[in-house]
Amino acid sequence: GAAKVSLVMVGHQAIMDAYLCLLHLTAGILIESLFNAFATAAFFKFVVFSIFEMRYLLAIWKAHRPQMNGGDNWDSMRRELSVLYTRFYGTLLCGIVLLYEFHRYLKPIVLMIHSFWIPQIVSNVIHDSRKPMHPHYVLGMTLTRMAFPLYAFGCPRNFMRIAADRNWSIALVAFMGSQAGLLLLQHYFGSRCFVPQQILPEKYSYYRRLNEENHVDDCVICMTPIDVRSSSSECMVTPCDHFFHGGCLQRWMDIKMECPTCRRTLPPA
């Protein structure tokens, strides 16, 4: 579900790609003999960046604003979109200026740039989202994002003649590894598994017992009868006292957090 993916996380990655694209172009200009190779790489990066990532960014942005899908408030949507674009390019520009100013601290900065999973981890905890991203995506992204900086700063004989820095490389791997580890932990054991119980707000239980015995109803999601007395995993109850099959409501909540019967908002499960 796109609604569960953090907008900041995807924006962050898009900005990283924009930088890589610029970096390729600069390298191509500096090392003339390799200009063609670098320009091609930069071009592909740019295509991927501007088509796929911007699309993804827009899809997620739309999913975060379900009420905007109607055509009537197209104007406010366009206004918000231009704010989004302004922020994006503003951050991009600020980053370039900052990099230029502080290029002596390049390594710590590059390390900090690789914190792009953190907004997603935080958003998972806040919204208690269930499985927002596939583990393959998490692993693949982590590895591909790590490959280039590891080559540039960790490889003893690379063409950029940057001295290899083993400690920095270990720090990068540890940093990215722990972020990916947390995300996978959230995927398999629940988004709040590492947050102590005491600081969490009290959670609503969808399996609370009901007073009415012998009450038989239809599940409005699949239109088949549902036995309210049945074992606790079979039947889920919303705060508004509507009953659904456990599986039916779980799948429903992956798409929207709203009661299928009365459309009241649902607390995280």
The minimum distance between CB 220 and Zn ion, in angstroms, equals: 8
Judged by CB under 5 A, the number of residues near Zn ion is: 11
Q: How far apart are alpha carbons 119 and 140 in whole angstroms? A: 18
**CB-nearer residue toward Zn ion: 51 or 222:** 222
Side-chain-side CA neighbours of 176 within 13 Å: the count stands at 21
Q: Which of 3, 242, 243, 253 binds Zn ion (CB under 5 A)?
A: 242
Sole residue written with tokens 């088509």 = 51
Q: Which of 12, 149, 245, 253 binds Zn ion (CB under 5 A)?
A: 245
Q: Helix crossing, 106-113 with 135-154: angle to 10°? A: 170
Q: Does 240 bind Zn ion (CB under 5 A)?
A: yes
Closest-CA residue to 29 (of 16, 47, 18, 42): 42
Burial class (CB in 10 A: 0-12, 13-18, 19+), 253: buried
Q: Does 81 bind Zn ion (CB under 5 A)?
A: no
**CB-nearer residue toward Zn ion: 21 or 259:** 259
Q: Which two tokens stand for residue 219?
A: 């599940």
Q: How far apart are alpha carbons 198 and 200 in whole angstroms? A: 6
The minimum distance between CB 240 and Zn ion, in angstroms, equals: 3
Q: Which of 248, 252, 253, 266 binds Zn ion (CB under 5 A)?
A: 248
Per-residue string for binding with Zn ion, 209-228, x by CB under 5 A? ----------x-xx------
Q: How far apart are alpha carbons 135 and 184 in whole angstroms? A: 6
SS3 state at 245: strand
Q: Which of 30, 122, 155, 262 binds Zn ion (CB under 5 A)?
A: 262
256 — phi, psi (to 5°)? Answer: -145, 150
**CB-nearer residue toward Zn ion: 115 or 261:** 261
**CB-nearer residue toward Zn ion: 13 or 238:** 238
Q: Does 250 bind Zn ion (CB under 5 A)?
A: no
The one segment of 44-52, 143-151, 158-166, 253-261 that binds Zn ion by CB under 5 A: 253-261
Burial class (CB in 10 A: 0-12, 13-18, 19+), 247: middle
The minimum distance between CB 253 and Zn ion, in angstroms, equals: 13
Interface contacts to Zn ion, rule CB under 5 A: 219, 221-222, 238, 240, 242, 245, 248, 259, 261-262
